[in-house]
Structure 1
Amino acid sequence: MKKTGRGWLWALIIIVIAAAATWYFWPKDDGEQRINTTKAELRDIEVVVTATGRLQPLDYVDVGAQVSGQLETLHVEVGDNVIAEEILAEIDATVLEARLDGVRAQLRFQQAQLRERKATLDLAEINLARQERLFVDRATPEELVQSAEATARAEAARLDAVQAQIEQTESSLRADEANLNYTRIFAPMSGTVTSIAARRGQTLNAAQTTPTIMTIADLSTMLVEAQVSEADISRLRNGMDVYFTTLGNRGQRWYSNLQLIEPTPVVENNVVLYNALFEIPNPDGELLPQMTTQVFFVVQSAEQVVAVPASAIRPTGRNQGEVRVMRNGQVEAVSVELGISDRVHTEIKSGLSAGDEIVMPSAAGMPAGAGRMGRG
């Protein structure tokens, strides 16, 4: 029991000592108002319009099939770099080759018919000439001459008909040869294979619509498509500076100039948005299609100007304001000329210098009164 009593006594002593130390070292409130200050500093200020955008290749093409058939071979994969006229895929050409053989055989048959008709026409013309000589010698009646003339004209017409059939077959032959060539699909441009929509063995039907096999894009130059709200679109102009960051690399900025504002809006959930477009070189391939971007259109900018927090300024007129400055331990109200503001910092064109000690508003939102810096 005695040990327990002594334990309580020591605990009480420790508590008393701790309370005394806390009281002694606690900051003393001398009743003097504390003043929060900051420094006027040189900084860059930008007035920007922000928007969200997406990256797209500036130049791309959907490679499709012009003939129907089974996709027999794919020579490339997603991510492969290809050059113009490089073969990409092949479609089974069995049916087209058989059709082409049939047209060629038909053409040979018609060419044989043409030779036969030419021989028949030659015979009819010879017979007509003989009948005309006999008619001159009054050795044959006029009816036989007329019959020979009619026969010659008929054979000439038959010859023309065969010639027309040959021309029609030759046209079909050229079309079938072209279709056969279409079974070998070549790259229409140099670039990177960004997607493949068809698979080996798939049947392609080009009867109604052109089936897309793959997409090739030139990733050396990208296009940023930013959607700007109707409230901000009037602040944009072609040629203005613009930069953006990506979600994966917010520390790096890509710079360009605004090139086009599309006049037709896009309405999403009753929000009217306008597409603002600009190009950006991509020589290292860091930017990829469909990347999300945070875009900043620079409306105004100033480099290395004297600036103070916007909350430290009390407006007094157009481009005029008042800032409370700590000088020689006293707070003074200084009239300043204001420049641009990004809503966080405001440019001071005159009235202050870099390094001046600026009095910030008190917690209650009122400027701090005159007095010395208080410290407990």
Structure 2
Amino acid sequence: MALAPRNRRRWPTWFGVFTGLVILAAGGWWYFQNGGNKQPPLNTIEVSRGDIQQLVSATGVLEPSNYVDVGAQVSGQLETIHVRVGQTVSQGDLLAEIDPTVYVAKVDATRAQLKNQRAQLDDRKAQLRLAEIQFQRQTNLFQEEATTRESLQTAEASLASAKAQLAMLEAQIEQTSSTLRAEEANLGYARIYAPMDGTVVSIEARQGQTLNATQQAPVLMRIADLATMRVRAQVSEADVGKLEPGMRVYFTTLGDAERKVYGELLYIEPTPEVTNNVVLYNALFDANNDDGKLLPNMTAQVFFIQSEALDVLRVPVSSVQRGRVQVLTQAGQVEWRDIVAGVSNRVHTEVVSGVKEGEKVVLVSRDPRSGSSNTSNFRGMLR
């Protein structure tokens, strides 16, 4: 009679264990059926067409390719400035005027002096003619023994003196004429004209200012041809060896980063600029500016094109491993493909052959701690 209660107490214990095992098995089955045994999704990208450029970058400054600093050749007070900054001018347009009072007076005085000398010249010519007549008379009389040799010699000396005085006066007239031309030129310099077609990009002088052109011509303004701009790019000594005259180059500006302006490298200045122990070389090229949007002193982000491939098949650099890529097939399997690579930069690699446009390649990320790639998750699939 005592055994029956002990058997009743053991039955619930075994039932609980059995129920737990059933629940655990059901949970495991649900886990594997709902992705517990699946690999994480692969990071892929389609093979596409596009451009690839291998570039050398630099920072540059825009400046006019052709400009003239307009100066004053004579001293005086700057009386009038006829232009403003930003104004377009043509060659020969009047830019400014210097007070011409002093130069007008000098021209008038020299002209008067020249007029006086020319009147003296007429008198010297008459005296020469008289000396010639007297000499001829004394010669005839001497031949007829009607005069003395002394009188003949006096007439001869008077003739020679008249000729010398005439020659001296003619030289003085030539000198005065030269002085007059210089004075008239200085008077002309009081009116300053544009030496070329262009735009007034700066004005250094002010109306009413007194200019002193004795030792150095003062600069009044700068006129530049803004139809063609020159870019002065500073290239590091590590990259300057990669550049060659004639190579294609483009740049963008801070105000319009989407617009690429192209040109060709003209030359590299051999003398570097050293700033904070950094050696930089100036590489120069021209760019068309017909629309006038490029202005002096703009900052340019410059890219020299070492090599390029246009409208080619390309894949990300991170998908290429030793000339091979991993392609995700339509069946969802991953397979290795050997490729022939072309131009490459930091972002893309050209694929000459090995994959087709639209196929998906696997992007490989590296573990920065071990250097291993994320392909270990599907190595079993490759076997």
Shared fold per TM-score greater than 0.5 = yes
Amino acid at match of 1:337: V
> Which runs of 5 or more residues in structure 2 are unaligned?
1-33
Q: Which residue of the other structure, out of 320, 324, 343, is the alignment partner of 2:326?
A: 324
SS at match of 1:151: helix
Match of 1:345? 348
Match of 1:264? 270
Asked if the contact 2:328–2:359 (Cα under 8 Å) also holds between the matched residues in 1, the reply is no
Deviates more, 1:149-158 or 1:324-333: 324-333
Change (3 A) 1:32 1:143: same
Match of 1:127? 134
Q: Which residue of the other structure, out of 286, 293, 314, is the alignment partner of 2:293?
A: 286
Asked if the contact 1:205–1:211 (Cα under 8 Å) also holds between the matched residues in 2, the reply is yes
Asked if the contact 1:36–1:361 (Cα under 8 Å) also holds between the matched residues in 2, the reply is no
Deviation at 1:254, TM superposition (A): 1.2
Match of 1:67? 74
Deviation at 1:322, TM superposition (A): 2.8
Q: Which residue of the other structure, out of 20, 35, 40, is the alignment partner of 1:34?
A: 40
Count of matched residue positions in the alignment of Structure 1 and Structure 2:
339
Query: C-alpha distance in 2, partners of 1:350/1:99?
Result: 85
CA deviation digits over 1:167-217, x for unaligned, max 9?
A: 100110111111111111111111111111111011111111111111111
SS at match of 1:314: coil
Query: C-alpha distance in 2, partners of 1:168/1:360?
Result: 90
SS at match of 2:208: coil
Query: C-alpha distance in 2, partners of 1:106/1:293?
Result: 61
Query: C-alpha distance in 1, partners of 2:129/2:314?
Result: 104
SS at match of 1:105: helix
Deviation at 1:33, TM superposition (A): 5.8
Query: C-alpha distance in 2, partners of 1:271/1:35?
Result: 47
> Which runs of 5 or more residues in structure 1 are unaligned?
1-27, 316-320
CA deviation digits over 1:316-353, x for unaligned, max 9?
A: xxxxx233344444443333322221112222223333
CA deviation digits over 1:103-134, x for unaligned, max 9?
A: 11111221222222222222222222222222
Change (3 A) 1:362 1:104: closer
Match of 1:275? 282
Determine whether 1:358 maps to 2:348.
no
Determine whether 1:173 maps to 2:180.
yes
SS at match of 1:116: helix
SS at match of 1:284: coil
Amino acid at match of 1:37: N
Runs of 4+ in 1 over 4 A off after TM superposition: 28-33
Amino acid at match of 1:361: S
CA deviation digits over 1:277-320, x for unaligned, max 9?
A: 322221111111111111111111123333332233222xxxxx
Change (3 A) 1:333 1:261: same
Query: C-alpha distance in 2, partners of 1:85/1:78?
Result: 17
Q: Which residue of the other structure, out of 223, 238, 249, is the alignment partner of 1:231?
A: 238
Deviates more, 1:66-75 or 1:120-129: 120-129
Matches within 5 A, 1:142-153: 142-153=149-160
Match of 1:116? 123
Deviation at 1:221, TM superposition (A): 1.7
Query: C-alpha distance in 1, partners of 2:364/2:35?
Result: 21
Asked if the contact 2:340–2:354 (Cα under 8 Å) also holds between the matched residues in 1, the reply is yes
Query: C-alpha distance in 2, partners of 1:135/1:213?
Result: 74
Change (3 A) 1:362 1:207: closer
Match of 2:91? 84
Change (3 A) 1:101 1:194: same
Question: What is the identity percentage for the equivalent residue pairs of Structure 1 and Structure 2?
Answer: 51
Determine whether 1:107 maps to 2:114.
yes
Using the size of structure 2 for normalisation, the TM-score is 0.82
Determine whether 1:51 maps to 2:53.
no
Measured on the aligned residues, the alpha-carbon RMSD in Å equals 2.2
Deviates more, 1:321-330 or 1:102-111: 321-330
Which structure has the larger Rg over C-alpha atoms? 2
